[in-house]
Amino acid sequence: GAGVSQSPRYKVAKRGQDVALRCDPISGHVSLFWYQQALGQGPEFLTYFQNEAQLDKSGLPSDRFFAERPEGSVSTLKIQRTQQEDSAVYLCASSLGLSHNEQFFGPGTRLTVL
């Protein structure tokens, strides 16, 4: 594909439900980042992968949030027992992995928790 894709684009969940958000990075991109963008705010870092290794998960807001990238390509962000404060747009970005490289962003998944 030409760019980073994310699915679903929109997700509505009832409070307490588990959700899984998928990110397909650009082919060959080593690094993958997840960001959370609350309404009216800038994106905030959640977690970062280099290939299949999760190198930084310091931005995950609670232990209800879990991310994986088992084969070093597709990544899934899972949120357990969703709460209303989890409502946000979840952005995925990928890069070639070198220091000067641009991060390419997907269109995001808008999660609404009722």
* H, E, C per residue of the chain: CCCCEEECCEEEECCCCCEEEEEECCCCCCEEEEEEECCCCCCEEEEEEECCEEEECCCCCCCCEEEECCCCCCEEEEECCCCHHHCEEEEEEEECCCCCCCCEECCCEEEEEC
From 91, 94, 111, 113, residue interacting with another protein (rule: CB under 8 A) = 91
* 101 binds another protein, rule: CB under 8 A: yes
Q: How far is the CB of 42 from another protein (least distance, A)?
A: 3
**Binding segment (CB under 8 A) for another protein, from list 13-21, 71-79, 80-88, 92-100:** 92-100
| Residues in region 4-43 near another protein by CB under 8 A | 4, 31, 33, 35, 40-43
From 48, 77, 79, 94, residue interacting with another protein (rule: CB under 8 A) = 48
Q: Which residues bind another protein (CB under 8 A)?
A: 4, 31, 33, 35, 40-45, 48, 50, 56, 59, 91, 93, 95, 97-108
